[in-house]
Amino acid sequence: MVVKLTPRDVMDDAPVIPVIVLSDVAHAAPLASALVAGGIRMLEVTLRTGAALACIEAIARDVPEAVIGAGTVRSAADAQAAARAGARFAVSPGYTQAVGQACKDLDLPLLPGVSTGSEIMAAQQDGFDALKFFPAVPAGGATMLMAWEGPFGDVKFCPTGGINPANARDFLVLPNVACVGGSWLSPAEVIARGDWKHITQLAKDAVALRAGR
C-alpha cells in the first residue's frame, strides 16, 4: 500500500531534495538506487528532457524505496503526465491556480515555486504553505528568507537555485527552511561515467548537513 504524502512530508524527509536532469532512461534506476543508499529518498526528476517521464516511470517501477517526484511542472498537462508516469509529488518553478488545482485534483502533493510576497500570498490563498523559493540565491537568498519569517511565519520553504554544499547550511539553519533543493547530488559527468558510489557519497554528505542545524 502506498502511503499518502503531504508537501511537508516531502520537505521534512532529508536536508536536500536532489534536482535531477536525466537524458538517458538507463541511468534512472541506478542513480535513484545510489541516492537511496546514501539516505536520500525524495527525488525530483525535472521535466526538462524528452526522457524525463520515462525516467520517472523507471524509478517508480524499479526502485520502490525511492519517492519519485516531477520537477519543472508548469501546466496541468505536465502534472497529469507526471502522475501517470508514477510521480508521487510535484515541484513547479512558479505558481498558477491551474497547476495548483490540477495537483489537488490528482491528489499530487505540490511544492509551488515563489519568489515574492505576492506569490506566497497567492499560493497560501489556495491552501499551499510548503513552498519552493526559486531562484533562491538570485532572488535574495537567506536574507530574503529571514525577512519573510515575520509576515510569513506559518510557511516553510525549500530554497532552490544557486544552493551548493558551501552555502546549504546558511539556509538550513533558518527556522522557516525545511530543506534545500540542489543539483550537486547528481552531476552530469558523474552520471555519464556511472560512478554510483560517488553519488552515494554525495547523498551521505548531504544527509550530514542536518547535523549543522
DSSP 36-85: HHTT--EEEEES-STTHHHHHHHHHHH-TTSEEEEE---SHHHHHHHHHH
Handedness of CA 70, 75, 81, 83 (dihedral sign): positive
Percent of the chain with pLDDT over 70: 98
| pTM of the full structure | 0.96
**Known catalytic residue at 204:** no
Query: Which is the catalytic residue, given 44, 65, 104, 156?
Result: 44
Between the alpha carbon of residue 65 and those of residues 32, 36, 41, 43, the distances in Å are 9, 7, 7, 11
Name residue 111's beta-bridge partners.
91
Query: Which is the catalytic residue, given 57, 104, 132, 156?
Result: 132
Given a contact cutoff of 8 angstroms between Cβ atoms, the answer to whether 79 and 43 are in contact is no
CATH code matching the domain that covers 7-203, chosen among 1.10.3720.10, 3.10.20.30, 3.20.20.70, 3.40.50.720: 3.20.20.70
Query: Residues in the chain with pLDDT < 70?
Result: 1-2, 211-213
Between the alpha carbon of residue 34 and those of residues 6, 114, 185, 202, the distances in Å are 24, 30, 10, 10
pLDDT recorded at residue 211: 57
User: In the chain, what are the domain boundaries?
Assistant: 7-203
Name residue 103's beta-bridge partners.
none
Between the alpha carbon of residue 121 and those of residues 131, 155, 161, the distances in Å are 11, 10, 21
* Residue 26: DSSP 8-state: G
| φ/ψ of residue 151, rounded to 5 | -75, -25
Laid out side by side, the sheet with 16-20 consists of 110-111, 89-91, 67-71, 42-46, 16-20, 180-182
Laid out side by side, the sheet with 130-133 consists of 113-114, 130-133, 156-159
Query: For residues 91 and 45, what is the distance between their CA atoms, to the nearest angstrom?
Result: 9
Q: What is the pLDDT of residues 159-175, one digit of tens each?
A: 999 999 999 999 999 99
**Known catalytic residue at 132:** yes
pLDDT recorded at residue 3: 74
Query: For residues 52 and 54, what is the distance between their CA atoms, to the nearest angstrom?
Result: 5
pLDDT recorded at residue 213: 44
Handedness of CA 101, 103, 107, 111 (dihedral sign): negative
Average pLDDT of the chain?
96
